[in-house]
Structure 1
Amino acid sequence: MKKLFLLPGIILFTGCATSISTQLAHQNFSKLQNSDPIVVLTEKETLPENSEFVGDIKIGDSGFTIECGYLKVIEDATAKAREAGANIIKIVELTEPAFLGSTCYRLQAKIYRNLDAVAIANISKKRDQKNKSRLPEDSNYALIHFYRPKLSVAALGSFGYKIKDGNDSILGRLRGGEKFVLQTKNFGDQSFFAITETKEEIKIKVEKGKEYFVRGGAIPGIITVRPQLTITENQIGQKEFEAMK
């Protein structure tokens, strides 16, 4: 087993990092402030009228890396758009993690500038609706969906790990193709983690009546696999969770 993971583990430590590239058509726009809203459109959503094309963004992966979950990729794209003076990210292609290709989300997008405050507000409202919890408004609990899609390499998928909370209580187990749902009344800042040869921890601010989606993964380590846990926005997590049988 050591021979199986030794080489990939070395690759992991030698700087295989997420790659971000931009190609701007307009470089004369001022950088946006952190308070300026940046909105994201999916492949199927329509770009509002009078949007001015600013450039292209591509976020990829040159190898095995751990900081490349969905929200991190969107965060990186948002930062690049803000630097270029763009306030709309229009996703062209979003590729889910797949071991043979990459354990990261990868993104290709076009960025635009639109100063119509009403149009931007409408996009934000629609996105909030897509990410809205499906629980009744009077629910006195929250749901946290943990899932780990089955990837193409059986050797990685067969290695499971336990999901624990901040009190070290076991909540469930994730192997490739496994999922479970935690119903909780523990609100506020909560920690969840998995341990193999390393510890992977995430923190969620749990609110009553809300849903959360945590995607599990694994990357090769020195001796065994290393766990990955990433928080995914609801509209992505719902689709991935429900696609698993």
Structure 2
Amino acid sequence: MRKILLFAGALFMLSCTPAVRTQLTNHQRPALEAESEVMVLEEAERVPAGAVDLGKITIRDNGLTAKCDWDLVLELAKTQVRNAGGNLLKIDRHIYPGIFMSSCHQLDATIFHINSKGAGDIIVSTDAAESAAIATTIPVRNIVPFQRWRLSLNGGFSYLLSRISGDVPLEARNHVRALKSGYHLGADGGYFWKENIGLGLKYVNFKSSHRGNINRYEYITSDITTQFTGPALYNRYYSRHSNITFLTGLSVGYLHYYNRQISPQRIEMRGNTVAAGLDLQADFVLSKRVSLGCGLGYIAGVLKKVQISDGNSRQTINLENGSYEGMARLDVSAGIRYHW
């Protein structure tokens, strides 16, 4: 039994990391030390003349991979380069995480060995001057750690999705229908402890107002405000060239409802409920720290009781099943994002 548990534990640990496959064409070079520097070339960069091809590396998501951000995948590739006796990693293909693909960074790469002479039977050099010469002749990829913090400020059009209750009088339906459209302002911030996964806080303020006639002699004015606040779980993906970031968010929190009506008496209605939110966003990179973004948001909740006040008295009304006040809403937003 103990052996089975040990085997299962080892299998689980292996499944957490990407699958690495190395095919060597040159088995004669000795492995380099773990601290040896490995230079990295991008897909569009050329391999210097005199570089010796030692083999290929393939790193893929094994289906259960949990540790697969770019820093880890790149370090796995560098380890294979050192084991093969190389000192240059040429990225042939970098497969970025995608919403409908793997959430892992994956790559195909070639292992090379090169020295400053760039010809003949190249031997690993420990000379400091030669190492400096290599570094100056080979363009090295600048590996920037992923940005852990994200702040989003946004606003836009909103539309309430709930159907108009059959209890609403016919003469008031146009007024209620007009209140379904409004606008929202919001902010959300998140911390990403992994490149693709983060936690944060989301806040959205929705407003809608309308003044209309109930009949020929009476009018009604309504001002509705809802506020949603809650923690959010984010999943982040990048386009192929990292110039667009895609973000999905799932949140659960507190929704407060306030409706001030004048018809002609002033009445205030308040309520609160637990609500859930879903977000799909795209950030278009302007600079290292600033992006412009757009997105779709969905918030769902149901009010089962409301508190009504007319200035003189206050009462709480429990709504009957079938007469609950739906808070489901669709938000179309745009805004600015800050990353660091």
TM-score (norm 1): 0.50
Structure with the larger RCO, 1 or 2 (CA within 8 Å, 6+ apart): 1
Q: Tell me which structure has the larger Cα radius of gyration.
A: 2
TM-score (norm 2): 0.37
Larger helix share, 1 or 2: 1
Larger strand share, 1 or 2: 2
